[in-house]
C-alpha cells in the first residue's frame, strides 16, 4: 500500500459558511463541501484552502522569445485575480495544481520581479505546488517564493478522502481534484449563437478545474459526456442543464 503525504487535519462537520459571491456549492461523496468560484478557482472552506490549476506563469514571455506577437500584462492579470480569490475567501492555504510555470525559457528575472513582491504580500498564506508536466520541464520555482513542492498524488487533508493532482486520474475510494485538461464547453442560444466558456467538470470520482492562467489554451470536448459540467460565466458559476448533478 502506498502511503500518501498529507498536509493538515480539518473537521468536516463544521456548518458551511456563506458562499462567496457567484460561487456554486457541491458536496463530494465523502461529505466534503466545496465551492466552485467564478475566478476559476476551488474553495474548500473547512480546510481554509483555495486550489487553482494551470496558471502557466511565463507563457507569454516564452512565446515572445520565439518571435510570436503576444500581449504583455498576463502575469499582472494572473496575480490580480489570485489577489481577488484570496480576498474573497481569506484562505490560509493556496494550492497550485500543476503547471505553475510554462517553460524554462519563460522563467526569467522579469517574472520573479513580479512574483516575489506578490508572494511577500501574502507571506501569511501557505502555498503548495503539486508539480505538473510543464513544471517538470521548467524546473522548480526559486526557494524565495516559499512554495512547498510535492508530487502527485498529494493528500491535502488527513480527514477527507480527497487527493490533489495535476493529471486527472481515478483512485478508488477517493475524489481526485486536478487540472491539466483546460476544459471549456460551448453554450448555444436560440438564435444560433454560441459562447465558449471555461468550465469545471465532475464525474467518475474526479473534479477537474478550468485553467486559471490568463494566457492559456482551452480544450473543448475534453470531458466525458456523462460528467456534470459547470460553466464559468462573468461573476458566477452555473450548472449546465443536461448533465448529472
Q: What is the pLDDT of residue 222?
A: 78
Q: What percent of the chain has pLDDT over 90?
A: 53
Torsion sign, CA atoms 199, 130, 124, 160:
positive
Domain assignments of the chain as residue spans, ordered by start: 32-239
Q: What is the pLDDT of residue 75?
A: 86
CA nearest neighbour of 180 among 43, 53, 42, 41: 53
| DSSP letters spanning 14-82 | SPPPPPPTT-EEEE-TTS-EEEEETTTEEEEGGGTEEEEB---BTHHHHHHHTT----S-HHHHHHHHH
Q: What is the pLDDT of residue 8?
A: 42
Average pLDDT on 72-97 reads 90
Q: What is the pLDDT of residue 47?
A: 94
7 has pLDDT over 70: no
SS3 content of the chain, % helix, strand, coil (to 5): 20, 30, 45
Helices 109-121 and 74-89: angle between axes, nearest 10 degrees: 10
Q: What is the pLDDT of residue 113?
A: 86
CATH 3.40.47 matches 32-239:
no
Torsion sign, CA atoms 152, 16, 22, 71:
negative
Q: How far is CA 17 from CA 23, 78, 87, 89, 232, in A?
A: 12, 26, 15, 10, 21
7 CB contacts (<8 Å, ≥6 apart)?
A: 93, 128, 154, 155, 156, 157
236 has pLDDT over 70: yes
pLDDT band at 101 (very low <50, low <70, confident <90, very high): confident
**pLDDT single digits (tens) 196-215:** 889 999 999 999 999 998 65
Q: What is the pLDDT of residue 102?
A: 54
* Averaged pLDDT of the chain: 82
Average pLDDT on 83-98 reads 95
Higher pLDDT residue, 1 or 54? 54
Higher pLDDT residue, 22 or 61? 22
Higher pLDDT residue, 17 or 2? 17
Indicate the burial class of 74 (C-beta count within 10 angstroms; 0-12, 13-18, 19 or more). buried
Q: What is the pLDDT of residue 157?
A: 81
Amino acid at each position: 500500500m502506498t502511503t500518501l503525504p498529507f498536509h493538515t487535519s480539518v473537521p468536516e462537520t463544521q456548518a458551511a459558511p456563506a458562499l462567496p459571491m457567484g460561487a456554486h456549492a457541491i458536496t463530494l461523496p465523502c461529505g466534503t463541501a466545496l465551492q466552485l468560484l467564478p475566478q476559476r478557482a476551488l474553495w474548500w472552506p473547512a480546510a481554509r484552502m483555495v486550489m487553482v490549476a494551470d496558471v502557466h506563469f511565463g507563457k507569454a514571455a516564452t512565446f515572445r522569445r520565439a518571435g510570436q506577437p503576444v500581449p504583455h500584462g498576463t502575469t499582472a492579470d494572473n496575480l490580480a485575480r489570485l489577489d481577488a480569490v484570496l480576498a474573497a475567501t481569506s484562505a490560509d492555504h493556496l494550492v497550485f495544481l500543476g503547471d505553475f510555470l510554462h517553460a524554462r525559457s519563460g522563467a526569467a528575472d522579469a517574472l520573479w520581479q513580479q512574483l516575489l513582491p506578490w508572494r511577500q504580500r501574502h507571506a501569511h498564506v501557505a502555498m503548495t505546488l503539486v508539480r505538473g508536466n510543464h513544471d517538470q520541464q521548467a524546473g522548480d520555482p526559486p526557494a524565495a517564493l516559499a512554495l512547498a513542492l510535492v508530487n502527485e498524488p498529494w493528500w491535502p487533508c488527513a480527514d477527507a478522502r480527497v487527493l490533489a493532482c495535476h493529471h486527472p486520474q481515478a483512485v478508488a475510494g477517493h475524489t481526485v481534484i486536478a487540472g491539466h485538461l483546460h476544459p471549456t464547453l460551448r453554450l448555444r442560444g436560440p438564435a444560433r449563437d454560441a459562447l465558449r466558456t471555461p468550465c469545471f467538470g465532475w464525474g467518475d470520482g474526479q473534479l477537474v478545474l478550468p485553467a486559471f492562467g490568463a494566457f492559456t489554451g482551452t480544450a473543448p470536448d475534453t470531458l466525458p459526456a456523462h460528467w456534470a459540467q459547470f460553466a464559468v460565466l462573468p461573476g458566477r458559476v452555473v450548472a449546465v442543464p443536461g448533465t448529472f448533478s
